[in-house]
Amino acid sequence: MAQPLKIVIVGAGIGGLACAIASRRQGLDVVVLERVEQLTSVGAGIQIPPNASRIWAQYGLLDRLKEYSIISKATQLRRWKDGELLCSRSVGEELDERWPWFVIHRADYQRVLVEEAKRLGVELRLKADVQDIDFERTGVTLRNGAMISGDVIIGADGLWSTLRDRILGRNSPPQETGDLAYRGTFSLSALQALESPAVDVLCRQSMVTMWIGPESHAVFYPVRCGKEFNLVMARPDDLPPGVKTEEGNIQEMKAVFEGWDPVLTKILTAFSSVLRWKMMHHNELASWTKDNVALLGDACHPSLPYQAQGAAMAVEDGAIIATLLGLYQQAHTKSCQHLTLRETLKLYESLQKSRTTTLHSGSVSNQHLYHLDDGPEQEERDRLLKAAQWQEKPDEEAEPFIWIDVRYQKAVLGRDAVGDARKKWEEVTG
């Protein structure tokens, strides 16, 4: 193969950028088409669990990420009413300290990835709004009429993916999950100004704190090396159908969490404005690929963010696609027996689809776990959470909740996506 494969990636979110970086590392030509004029991300935090940080370690980006983040030592579940500790999980740290669990501001995460993509020679085109695909020519048409073609098209265009509809040949919007989220960040000084010793203690902790309660939960963690903090609160969705996000009312938000742990309600007083987000997901799609076109990330498996895995899955997808395409290119160059591009993309789908389907169900089961009303079921949940032993159990004694199921957590967090892609390729091509 004289020319490297040309990969056209639609969307410069975390998934698209991960795929772009990984593809350049395989020596592929990469163009990323992004519809917005300027890359800005939601003013909120994001967790980078070990299955994603392992990939960034492989691509040499851990030190850059560390410059902006905090390594979370544990995730703690606390009772909504009084903050009583129900469970502290540090599975990530125990897996392998080389792949930490980062908490970071989304803008910082995106900046690190964009800089790396550009450094590696990715062509990033902004104001490039993709309207359609020509499957036969492996090309996409932009709003201005221009056609950009390549050897492979990757639809990393998020929750409301245009490419998903084209692959399926029909509209396939995501479904409501029944929950909405309030999201906000605070500066350390704003939280210190609350003059609450309990809030100060929370701010000094390098961990993710969650309060779980009837129909709702809250997640709090540091970003920007502890200079800012992120708070997400989930509650029943009352946004009208079709409304994706809107400015929230702080009084209404406080009313929802009235009677919760005074530490949390104290933090709520630091909000100056708040956004409400409808949380959507998509059940398993019939197909993620058609011809030489494939979807990744939220375009094909958006799920409730109740395991901090959405973007991590998108990073895995991008790394797997790039690894397989790199192997395809090597085999082609050496004239070895190899798969077609279409079969290579199908191989990616076969590696990720059952995994993301399991994670999708995991998020839905966490929704139930986090939102139990006070009563016998909640009392039993709390008993089991407090009694968690963090040991793998035989199958017949599986934990009732994935949150404390060590086998499940190890499978999710300990995944070596790049290694699995290589193994699968070898298995299939002999």
Ligand X SMILES: Cc1cc2nc3c(=O)[nH]c(=O)nc-3n(C[C@H](O)[C@H](O)[C@H](O)COP(=O)(O)OP(=O)(O)OC[C@H]3O[C@@H](n4cnc5c(N)ncnc54)[C@H](O)[C@@H]3O)c2cc1C
Residues that bind ligand X (CB under 6 A): 10-16, 33-36, 46-47, 128-130, 156-159, 162, 181, 183, 232, 277, 279, 297-299, 305, 308-312, 314
Shortest CA distance to 296 belongs to which of 275, 317, 319? Answer: 317
Cβ 23 to ligand X shortest distance, Å: 14
Whose tokens are 């800005």? That residue is: 40
DSSP 185-212: EEEHHHHHTT--HHHHHHHH--SEEEEE
Nearer to ligand X by Cβ, of 181 and 339: the residue is: 181
Is the CA virtual torsion 413, 414, 419, 423 positive or negative? negative
3 state DSSP class of 299: helix
Nearer to ligand X by Cβ, of 79 and 105: the residue is: 105
**Phi/psi at 253 (5° precision):** -65, -45
The token pair that represents 74 in the structure block = 């544990």
Helix axes 417-429, 310-333, angle to 10 degrees: 40
Cβ 369 to ligand X shortest distance, Å: 17
Yes or no: say if 62 and 25 are a contact pair by the CB < 8 Å rule: no
Nearer to ligand X by Cβ, of 152 and 327: the residue is: 152
Nearer to ligand X by Cβ, of 180 and 385: the residue is: 180
Shortest CA distance to 77 belongs to which of 241, 306, 274? Answer: 306
Shortest CA distance to 198 belongs to which of 266, 108, 280? Answer: 266
Nearer to ligand X by Cβ, of 164 and 338: the residue is: 164
Residue with the shortest CB distance to ligand X: 13
Angle ∠(256,247,259) on CA atoms, nearest 5? 15
Query: In DSSP terms, which residues pair with 176 in a beta bridge?
Result: 280
Yes or no: say if 31 and 9 are a contact pair by the CB < 8 Å rule: yes
Shortest CA distance to 97 belongs to which of 79, 116, 78, 71? Answer: 71
Whole-angstrom distance, CA of residue 405 vs CA of residue 403: 6
Whose tokens are 């082609």? That residue is: 332
Angle ∠(101,48,406) on CA atoms, nearest 5? 55
